Amino acid sequence: QDTFDGVDFLDIDNLLTDEHKLIRTSIRDFVKREISPYIEDWSQNAYFPTEIVKKFGDVGAFGPQIPEQYGGGGVDYISYGLIMQEIERGDSGMRSTASVQGSLVMYPIYKFGSEEQRNKYLPKLASGEMLGCFGLTEPDHGSNPSGMVTNFKDMGDHFLLNGAKMWISNSPQADIAVVWAKDESGRIHGLIVERGMEGFSTPETHGKWSLRASCTGELVFDNVKVPKENLLPGKSGLGAPLMCLDSARFGIAWGAIGAAMDCYESARKYAAERIQFGKPIASFQLIQKKLSEMLTEITKAQLLAWKVGKMMNEGKAKTVHISMAKRNNVDMALHVAREARQIHGGMGITGEYPIMRHMMNLESVITYEGTHDIHLLILGQEITGIPAFV
Ligand code: TGC
Ligand code: FAD
């Protein structure tokens, strides 16, 4: 029985509005009903539950920050963060599905798309009638997307797209892909590629030990004819996909707190119930140290996420602020998961508890949307004025 009621040591709820709390409750109930009872099976069986897409749409998890006029929720960034937190308390892979759809597919179409593109795609993406994916990473260009080789040529009445993307969340099930590719002058643009276009395929990536309930795959473009009206006209250059990443990375900073909360709660309960040497293990100082540090780190991460959320709402958050929050909070969650695993002893490696699943998931989360070290270097560049990437 899930009686989770939040981890809130410093009365951070006091910083939230009634609307924030209402949204959090509705997603928390949804996760309890639609994800938590099944996630262990889905993950163990590497199964992506396609029916969750429509359900996410119904509960408002897709594009909550996009204006209502286009089917989005029209809510602020703290609400968006709380939605990601609650979904990731269920599972990081489920949060991936939602954050890719909202921040990496709906956001670029809303921000850089034409009015026709917005009206054509956004309401269907918001409702879960359509699933999307975001293709930036390539086999030879992960941390350095500016080196991408996927390209398109102007053929007069259409574009001809060639290349391949790798590690793309949602790709095997996606109806559309927002793809970043270079034009003949080497300038990066976003194109909307639809399933069914000749020469476009989405082979699934098998054998992952992480994010097993999320489907991941490639995007392969073999002379795909893309209609000219599918180019996102509003912005070109690497800055366009990097703006989308700002939004998604912000959601991950909140999502990671959810995964950490789930591990902490499980460890706290287990420690109270597990008897060794005639006493609950919670009575031992080393276990108390672990629990105290977990709670402290979760609390610090909550304050960081909340403050960056306020700055997002005010239009003041910069990439560096988001980098600090994503990097710190994911690392924090991974550390909490590892400590919680220790507290559960041998039981910590089984599917009876969520720990090992969160821990393995977080190994992807600390890598995607900019690796742990890339975010460090983004901060290093801000501090010193010197980019250390090259
Ligand atoms: P750099 O020279 O710094 O920038 C290139 C151009 O972009 C501009 N720019 C921005 N514009 C708007 N918003 C931002 N946040 C911007 N950041 C940079 C910049 O001004 C410049 O403009 P211009 O006009 O001068 O050309 O770029 P760089 O090539 O040196 O790269 C910097 C670096 C390494 C930080 C960047 O490439 C990076 O962040 N790499 C990490 C790659 C990454 O995060 N990939 C994620 C793929 S998507 C994903 O993982 C989804 S998983 C989702 C899930 O399942 O949940
Ligand atoms: P690399 O860039 O090869 O990095 C390898 C190592 O080298 C890392 O430790 C990195 O920090 C380090 N490194 C690289 N450059 C430097 C440097 N200059 N200085 C110091 N260290 C450096 N991408 C998408 O476009 N869309 C998606 O939906 C998507 N979903 C994903 C889902 C999963 C499950 C995973 C695992 C990845 C996903 N990605 C997606 C790709 C993800 O963004 C990349 O894996 C990530 O950006 C890192 O790229 P890479 O794996 O090629 O690692």
The predicted-structure confidence for 317-358, as pLDDT tens digits, reads as follows: 999 999 999 999 999 999 999 999 999 999 999 999 999 999
pLDDT the model gives residue 390: 80
pLDDT of residue 6: 84
Which residues touch 4 (CB under 8 Å, ≥6 apart)?
Answer: 28, 32, 89, 261, 262, 265
pLDDT recorded at residue 4: 73
| Ligand sitting nearest the alpha carbon of 208 | 2
CA of 143 to the centre of ligand 2 (A): 5
pLDDT computed for residue 212 by the predictor: 98
Where residue 3 falls among pLDDT bands split at 50, 70, 90? low
Q: Is there a catalytic annotation at residue 314?
A: no
Distance CA 109, CA 105 (A): 6
| pLDDT over threshold 50, residue 114 | yes
Ligand with the closest atom to the CA of 112? 1
Mean pLDDT of 60-85: 97
| pLDDT above 90 (res 73) | yes
Look at ligand 1, atom 30, and give the residue with the nearest C-alpha: 389
pLDDT bin (cut points 50, 70, 90) of residue 286 is very high
The CA 137 to ligand 1 mean position distance, Å, reads 11
Q: Tell me the C-alpha to C-alpha distance, in Å, between residue 291 and each of 12, 256, 260, 325, 337.
A: 19, 17, 12, 22, 11
**Residue 389 C-alpha to ligand 2 middle, in angstroms?**
13
Please choose, from the candidates 374, 350, 371, 351, the residue with its C-alpha nearest in 3D space to the C-alpha of residue 362.
371
Percentage of residues in the chain having pLDDT higher than 70: 99
Q: How confident is the model at residue 372 (pLDDT cuts 50, 70, 90)?
A: very high
Q: Is the ipTM of this complex over 0.85?
A: yes
Q: Give the rounded percent of residues in the chain with a pLDDT score beyond 90.
A: 98
Residue 175: its pLDDT value, please?
98
Q: What is the rounded average pLDDT of the residues 16-21?
A: 97
Q: What pLDDT shows up at residue 5?
A: 77
The span from the CA of 254 to the CA of 263, in Å, is 15
Is the per-residue pLDDT at 1 higher than 50?
Answer: no
The pLDDT tens digits of the residues spanning 214-242 come to 999 999 999 999 999 999 999 999 999 99
Residue nearest to atom 15 of ligand 2 (CA): 143
Exposed, middle or buried, 356 (CB in 10 Å: 0-12/13-18/19+)? buried
